[in-house]
Amino acid sequence: MEENNQQELKAEEEASATASIHGDVLEIILSHVPLIDLEHARCVSNTWNRAVFSSLRHLNPIKPWLIVHKQSTRHPYATTAHAYDPRSEVWLKIDQPPINHVSALRSSHSTLLYMQTSLQFAFSFDPLHLKWYRANAPLVWRTDPIVALVGHCVVVAGGTFDLGDDPLPLETYDLRIGKWDICQWIPTVLKDSPSSLWLSVAVDEHKMYVTEKSSGITHSFDPSTKTWYGPYDLRPGNHVFSSAIGFVNDSMVVVGLIGDSENVKGVKLWEAMKGTEMVELREIGEMPEELVGKLKGESACLPSIGLNTMGQFAYLHNPSDPGELILCEVADGACRWGSVRNVVGDDESRMQRLVFTCSDVGLGVLHDAICSGNRRFTVKDNIVD
Residue 152: DSSP 8-state: T
pLDDT at 164: 59
Please give the pLDDT value at position 299. Answer: 85
Q: Is the pLDDT of residue 306 over 90?
A: yes
Confidence band for 385, pLDDT divided at 50, 70 and 90? very low
Q: Which 8-state DSSP code applies to residue 198?
A: G
Report the side by side order of strands in the sheet with 240-248.
Answer: 240-248, 251-260, 263-272, 281-286
Percentage of the chain exceeding pLDDT 90: 67
Highest mean pLDDT, choosing among 21-35, 88-102, 281-295? 281-295
Q: What is the pLDDT of residue 49?
A: 92
Asked if the model's pLDDT at residue 22 lies above 70, the reply is: no
Neighbouring-strand partners of residue 155: 148, 172
CATH topology of domain 62-380: Neuraminidase (2.120.10)
CB-side neighbour CA atoms (13 Å) of 283: 9
CA dist 297 to 301, 302, 317, 323, Å? 10, 9, 10, 7
Contact call for residues 189 and 219 (beta carbons, < 8 A): yes
Per-residue pLDDT band at 277 (split at 50, 70, 90): low
Contact 220, 177 (CB under 8 A): no
Give me the phi and psi of 9, to 5 degrees please: -65, -40
Task: Give residue 350's pLDDT band: very low, low, confident or very high (50, 70, 90).
Answer: low
pLDDT at site 106 = 92
Predicted confidence at residue 63, as pLDDT, reads 96
Sign of dihedral through CA atoms 83, 341, 343, 37?
A: negative
Task: Encode pLDDT of 141-181 as tens digits.
Answer: 888 899 999 999 999 998 887 655 667 889 999 999 999 99
Residue 287 pLDDT level (bands cut at 50, 70, 90): very high
Is 10's pLDDT higher than 70? Answer: no
The answer to whether residue 365 scores a pLDDT higher than 90 is yes
The pLDDT value given to residue 18: 46
Question: pLDDT digits over 122-152, tens only?
Answer: 999 999 999 999 999 998 888 889 999 999 9
The answer to whether the peptide bond before residue 76 is cis (omega within 30 degrees of 0) is: yes
Residue 185 has a pLDDT of 81
Cβ atoms 90, 66 nearer than 8 A: no
Helices (H), the chain: 2-17, 23-30, 35-41, 46-58, 188-192, 289-296, 363-371
Domain regions of the chain by residue span: 1-56, 62-380
Tens digit of each residue's pLDDT (9 = 90 or more) over 54-87: 999 999 999 999 999 999 888 778 889 999 999 9
**What are the backbone dihedrals phi and psi of residue 57, each rounded to the nearest 5 degrees, phi first?**
-80, -40
Q: What is the spatial order of strands in the sheet that 208-212 belongs to?
A: 199-203, 208-212, 217-222, 227-233
C-beta atoms surrounding 143 within 10 Å = 12
Asked if 281 contacts 271 with a C-beta cutoff of 8 angstroms, the reply is yes
Given a cut of 60, whether residue 237 has pLDDT beyond it is yes
User: How far is 110 from 98, CA to CA, in rounded Å?
Assistant: 22
Distance of CA 3 to the CA centre of its chain: 48
Alpha-carbon span 246 to 259, nearest angstrom: 21
Q: What mean pLDDT is reported for the chain?
A: 87
Integer angstrom CA distances of residue 232 from 14, 187, 209, 275, 311: 59, 12, 10, 11, 24
Q: What is the pLDDT of residue 294?
A: 95
Predicted pLDDT at 245: 96
Name the pLDDT band for 384 (thresholds 50, 70, 90).
Answer: very low
More confident residue, 219 or 185: 219
Judge contact between 78 and 72, C-beta under 8 A: yes
